[in-house]
Homo-oligomer: A and B are copies of this chain.
């Protein structure tokens, strides 16, 4: 069904045919349905994880029931947080959740080690993945510590909408994106509505004035 997944990743596509053939033998292909927990506190992986298709949302939960999204893993990327936690063997309360149906490549630790040692391209790929996530997290820290909620929400609405004008999501889900409470999201969305930047109905938000949202997202 997947002819040759090594095509898909920057870190593997450039490798010699022989190495790729070996990888195809060593790795398992795993499919999971939308909504499945890919990894989590009760589910620490012992292998390396490369996302072939779909999208994973990595979030952190507090004991008080609030969540915050740390970053998303897209197709073609590796999920280094699993790697990190595997290597550090430390507890953590981050969770990876399949946001769509996903197909992933699971590479045993041993094969991963050999690849990192032997193949510079792959090594670059892995380090770049780590760096990317570190920088993602720096951004999250910056937002949470210093950002204003209306700005962050406007930004997130635009991101979630992409090229479309409508988002299917609840206030609670948006709150979990940003690490805040539902009531706060409701308040701000009401304000946006009053200003005719958006229209709302149960479970849906229509972005009426993306330009205004962009301005809000860029301010302060």
Interface residues of A in 40-98 (CB under 8 A from B): 60, 62-64, 66, 68, 70, 80-81, 83-85, 87-88, 90, 92-94
Query: Nearest chain B CB to A152's CB is how many angstroms away?
Result: 11
User: Could you tell me how many residues of chain A have their Cβ less than 8 Å away from some Cβ of chain B?
Assistant: 42
> What's the minimum C-beta distance from A51 to chain B, rounded to whole angstroms?
18
Contact between chains at B141 and A84 (CB < 8 Å): no
Q: Is A131 on the interface with B (CB-CB < 8 A)? A: yes
B83 touches A138 (CB 8 A): no
Q: Is the CB of A141 within 8 A of B142?
A: no
Q: Is A137 an interface residue (CB 8 A)?
A: yes
**Residues of chain B lying within 8 A (CB to CB) of residue A142:** 60, 62, 93
Question: Is A1 in contact with chain B by the CB < 8 A criterion?
Answer: no
Binds B, one of A28-36, A120-128, A182-190: A120-128
